[in-house]
Amino acid sequence: MINTFIGDLGHFSVILAFVAAVVAALSYFMASWKQPLGLEDANWKRLGRIAFYVHTVAVLGIIISLFNIIQNHRYEYHYAWSHSSNHLPTHFMISCFWEGQEGSFLLWIFWHTLLGLGIIWFNKKWEAPTMAVFAFVQFFLTSMILGVVIGDLKIGSSPFILLRDFMPDAPVFKLNPDFVPKDGTGLNPLLQNYWMVIHPPTLFLGFAATLVPFAFAVAGLWKGEFTKWVKPALPWALFAGLVLGVGTMMGAYWAYETLNFGGYWNWDPVENAVYIPWLVLVAAIHTLLIYRRSKAGLHVSFVLVMVSFLLILYATFLTRSGILGNASVHSFTDLGLSGQLFTYMAAFVVLASALLVWRWKKIPATEKELTTYNSEFWVFIGAVVLCLGAFQVLFTTSIPVYNAFMGFIGIKTNLALPADQIAHYTKFQLWMGVGIAVLSGVAQLMWWQKNDKARLSNALAVPAILTLLFVSLILVLGRLGVGPKIDNPVYIVLLLVAFFAVFANLGMIFTLVKRKAVLTGGAVAHIGVALMLIGILYSSGYSTIVSQNTSGLLYSRDFPEEINRDNVLLFRNNPIEMGKYKLTYEGQFMEVDDFPEYVNKESLFRLALDEHRALARTDLKYKDKVYFKTGDTVSITPENTYYKIVYLEKGTGKTFTLYPRAQINEEMGFLASPDIKNGLTSDLYTHVSAVMNNEEEREWSELKEHNVAIGDTLFLNDYVAVLKGIEPVRKVEGIQLGEKDVAVQADLKIFGENKEYHGHPLFVIKDNMVGRIPDEIEDLGLRLTFMSIDTENNRFTIGVNTTQKDYVILKAMEKPIINLLWIGTMVMSLGFIMAIFRRSGEGKAENITTGKGANQQRSGEKKQVAKV
């Protein structure tokens, strides 16, 4: 039965949210119009606030309706049908919510409402002008999910569209307009990963958070409060920088764990689109700090804060308008919103530039020139380096946009992204990393002291000496074979400056901790960045392919010298030597619900009627505890197959097992995910590149019959087998045996390469009809059929088919010191959090002096600290 109520409720909420956003934007605008900050028209402001509350409630209504549709499997709705399915666990239903474009817009809208409420409650003085900006943004975003068609103009794409309205031409709806599909088409299997539950909300919170400093900057320009906006905006900018950075790295970790391009960062436009605004935002944070310290750099701060938000809009436009076309592997589908997205972006670019131009001359600037002994000067240079780095990525990522633009004005261009993107980006980004590492060390040392030549060289001496000693040690160890041997001079430079940044900032932490621990946020964040740089240098620069093809078998020798032959073929149970390892592929495994290990496919009897269930063929035991008995029904995840690869380390004799995954999915084809052996000093990363295609390649040979007696020996596909006996069977899986029915099974023992196998083909007489249930031994590529029984002579006929032996194509690589990248990310985040605490503490101190405070003494303390 089609439930139209929930969709109508959702759609009504969308319209209400849209209208309320318009009312809120207008009211807040009117409240603030021609009024100085803090003296807004109270009636308009109240109306604006009420409208924003209504908007927030309506947004919650949309979310609840959409989630209800997904959670209750209401497949009459296109959104549930195309993003969910019956067998999806609840936590992945949350991912369904934002798999589609509409849901991800909704997520973004939702974060804006929360942040807006935060401003209404905690930044009352700035409420009217900043919330006017917020509500204006919400007006654009809610219009994206409006789903209204006026004539030829389509405004937004509604998540509440019924399946029958989405595809009115489908024949099934002509027959029965009330048809509801029984199951959805499911969530993209690559997104069925716990990181995908948390990564998108984090990233969108980061997107949303950049709006706050932007709104403060706009309010500052508009109200002529050119300096006061900095203080409340700074903690928000830090918060946005933290969340956006963490969100990006979560995406990187997901890619490392789930995709199989062999790394965490691919310079894909979708990744770059977030990296660019993050760099600019971090630069903006630094110029805001310069302003707080020496009243310089206010113009730049305005520009950078505004640009970082505009770049978020540009990122949205890039990834969602379909403009990237062939350039990205994972872009959203074009919902026909390009025009709307472009309008949204253009509106804010025009608004921001107009405000800046109008007020530019009035923004105060300092006359005094910064000298090279001012730490602010070097922080400023650092911000410049970050911006140049951002510009470089932006310029290359936008190449598809140039083509589209030229096409728009009628010129055909054929510009493509660089063929080797990694080399192209590394060429610049590496030097940006070098610049940042040096400057973060030097500027941090200078920031906390008065500088002249002598004091500066004193401060620099200790970290510089430590760096030289440490890096020399690493280089020597590399030559001795401990860790990778580093001989690329560019990499040595990066290593030097990264260690310098670590030591310089670490030294600063020791000095500052005595004064006040919370001051060390900046130094901690810088150490995090330096550690990330070292992690990237090793894991990417010295990643080695373990799975070099050493078999000597080559298809063609046309251009052998320049080709990396990175894949090896592993036949089941045939060990292969690979570097310092000996690998064996030991079969296909599956996940069984409520069982701690993967289970061999051979122990599971798949049910034809329900692909999500299977019968256990043996007891499923783990550590002496029997979880399932033979014949029990177990729940499985049918699309995931795990390929058991046993690694034997030749030197030490240690073994470990990896289970790289492949998903064979009707909708998406073959998808491989790696399995990673995490080590302290390096990760071993393994994925299957291809597997034997069961339907196409598994051609069985013609049946060959063997007439044998008990105890006789047979030769099957090069293996020796013995017929051990014939035994009656009372229970046959899937068949109801009556009183007069008979079932017997042959017990064949086959001697494989490493172990013995038992084959049990069945011979059944049910209702006087003969049935044969063959038994397959996948390891050996054998299928045994119990053909007939000659009761007079006590001889039995066993039919044998043989097939291609199971194999996988495997790629494995080693990634040294990759853990430093993840540790560095955590350290950087910690630094951000400390800085947020410190800077929001300052904001509170300000509030207290205006008469709203609680603890006078503490605020006094903070102020002193701020003056340091």
Partner 1 sequence: MKKTHIIGIAVIAIAIAIIITTAGDASSYVSFKEARELAQEGNTTPVHVVGRLKKDANNHIVGMQYDPRIDPNYFTFTLVDTNRVEQQVVYYNNKPQDFERSEQVVIIGKMQQDKFVADKILLKCPSKYVENEIKTESAGL
- Residues near partner 1 (CB under 8 A) are 82, 163, 167, 170, 172, 175-176, 179, 181-183, 185, 188, 326, 329, 332-333, 369-370, 372, 377, 381, 384, 388, 391-392, 395-396, 399, 414-420, 424, 427-428, 549, 553-556, 558-559, 563-569, 667-672, 689-690, 807, 809, 811
Report the nearest approach of partner 1 to the CB of residue 812 (Å): 13
774 CB-near residues (< 8 Å, 6+ apart):
761, 783, 784, 785, 786, 799
Decide if 248 contacts 204 (C-beta within 8 A): no
End-to-end alpha carbon distance in the chain? 69
Closer of 420 and 792 to partner 1 (Cβ): 420
559: Cα separation from own chain's centroid: 37
The span from the CA of 545 to the CA of 543, in Å, is 7
Question: In terms of CB distance, is 353 or 366 closer to partner 1?
Answer: 366
How near is the Cβ of 356 to partner 1 at its closest, in Å?
Answer: 18
Minimum CB distance to partner 1, residue 830 (Å): 32
Please, what is the minimum distance in Å from the beta carbon of residue 530 to partner 1? 23
- Nearest distance, CB of residue 301 and partner 1, angstroms: 15
**Type of residue numbered 844:** K
- Whichever of 313 and 568 has its CB closer to partner 1, that residue is 568
Nearer to partner 1, 424 or 766 (CB): 424
Decide if 69 contacts 76 (C-beta within 8 A).
Answer: no
Distance from C-alpha of 108 to C-alpha of 124, rounded to nearest angstrom = 23
Do the Cβ atoms of 506 and 539 come closer than 8 Å?
no
CB of 85 to partner 1, least distance (A): 11
Q: Which is nearer to partner 1, 13 or 803 (CB)?
A: 803
Q: Shortest CA distance to 296 belongs to which of 377, 213, 385?
A: 377
Residue type, 765: I
In the complex, minimum distance from the CB of residue 238 to partner 1, in angstroms, rounded to a whole number: 25
Least CB distance to partner 1 at residue 554 (A): 5
| Residue 566 beta carbon to partner 1: minimum distance, rounded to whole angstroms | 7
CB 332 within 8 A of CB 251: no
Residue 565 host element (H or E): none
Per DSSP, the residues of 669-729 read: EEEEE-EEEE-SSEEEEEEEEEE--HHHH-PPPPPEEEEE-TT-EEEETTEEEEEEEEEE-
Question: Cβ 401 to partner 1, closest distance in Å?
Answer: 13
Question: What is the number of alpha carbons within 13 Å of residue 559 lying toward its C-beta?
Answer: 3
Q: Which is nearer to partner 1, 338 or 797 (CB)?
A: 338
The neighbouring-strand residues paired with 810 are 568, 688
| Least distance in angstroms from the C-beta of 613 to partner 1 | 18
In this structure, what is the dihedral angle of CA atoms 625, 628, 630, 636, given to the nearest 10 degrees? -130
Nearer to partner 1, 364 or 711 (CB): 364
In the complex with partner 1, the residue whose CB is nearer, 384 or 710, is 384
Q: Which is nearer to partner 1, 689 or 829 (CB)?
A: 689
Name the nearest CA neighbour of 639 among 677, 600, 594, 669.
669
- Between 383 and 836, whose beta carbon lies closer to partner 1? 383
3-state secondary structure of 480: coil
Task: Count the neighbouring beta carbons within 10 Å of the beta carbon of residue 298.
Answer: 20
Instruction: Say how far apart CA 778 and CA 588 lie, in whole Å.
Output: 9
Nearer to partner 1, 574 or 618 (CB): 574
d(CA 456, CA 460): 6
Cβ of 559: how many Cβ atoms within 10 Å? 7
Beta carbon of residue 395, minimum distance to partner 1 (angstroms, whole number): 6
Q: Residue 514 contacts by C-beta under 8 Å, 6 or more apart in sequence? A: none
What does the alpha-carbon distance between residue 193 and residue 188 come to, in Å, rounded to a whole number? 10
Cβ distance to partner 1 smaller for residue 388 or 493: 388
With 0-12 / 13-18 / 19 or more C-beta atoms within 10 angstroms meaning exposed / middle / buried, residue 766 is: middle
Continuous segment of H or E residues that includes residue 396: helix 375-397
Nearer to partner 1, 505 or 549 (CB): 549
- Bridge partners, residue 798, by sequence: 706, 786
Of 593, 587, 637, nearest to 611 (Cα)? 637
Strand partners, 795: 790
Q: Which is nearer to partner 1, 556 or 736 (CB)?
A: 556
Nearer to partner 1, 519 or 568 (CB): 568
Closest approach of partner 1 to the CB of residue 418, in Å: 4
Sign of the torsion formed by the C-alpha atoms of 254, 257, 261 and 267: positive
Q: Least distance (Å) from partner 1 to the CB of residue 808?
A: 9
Run of H or E including 762: strand 762-766
Helix axes 298-320, 230-258, angle to 10 degrees: 30
Q: Which is nearer to partner 1, 185 or 511 (CB)?
A: 185
Nearest to 553 by CA among 540, 536, 567, 539: 567
**Please, what is the minimum distance in Å from the beta carbon of residue 398 to partner 1?**
10
CB of 382 to partner 1, least distance (A): 12
